[in-house]
Amino acid sequence: MCGGVEARDAEKAYKVYFPSPKAAFPVMLEGGESLGWVKWGRRREEPGQGPQGGWARLETVERGGWAKYEPLRAFGLVQRYMEKDASRKSHWFDMQAGFALDCLVLGEGEQRRVYVVTSTPPEEYSWIHDRWPMVREIV
């Protein structure tokens, strides 16, 4: 489901974990516009318009379940992402050059949030988690 990411700014790499209320990572819209570091999802205690959590199931997106939020398709510009297995062990996966997390961006300004699009995992990783971040080529 993507519980953490590693992203870079000009000077260093940061490991970011969703439970942190300050969790954010760099995002670029499909058209190439950089949004900089965008807050990752919305936690239960946070006000805002978007749904709670930090993920959007691909099936729900395709059925139009996110349409009411008027999301923009975007790329999560991370170097690695992390999944935890049932025993809570972390597994890190490197992002191939030219690829990014498939994301949705909701809202504007301080209320802007990014959600990672998820689907079923590749068969070889299905033992780790039943949801997996979608990765796509940056175009």
Cβ–Cβ under 8 Å, residues 27 and 74: yes
Look at residue 137 and tell me whether its pLDDT is greater than 90.
Answer: yes
Strands (E) in the chain, as ranges, are 4-8, 13-17, 24-29, 34-39, 55-57, 72-76, 80-84, 90-94, 99-106, 113-119, 132-133, 135-137
* Interval 98-110: pLDDT, tens: 999 999 999 998 8
pLDDT over 90 percentage in the chain: 87
CB count within 10 Å of CB 127 equals: 10
Residue ranges per structural domain of the chain: 4-137
* Interval 81-133: pLDDT, tens: 999 999 999 999 999 999 999 999 999 988 899 999 999 999 999 999 999 99
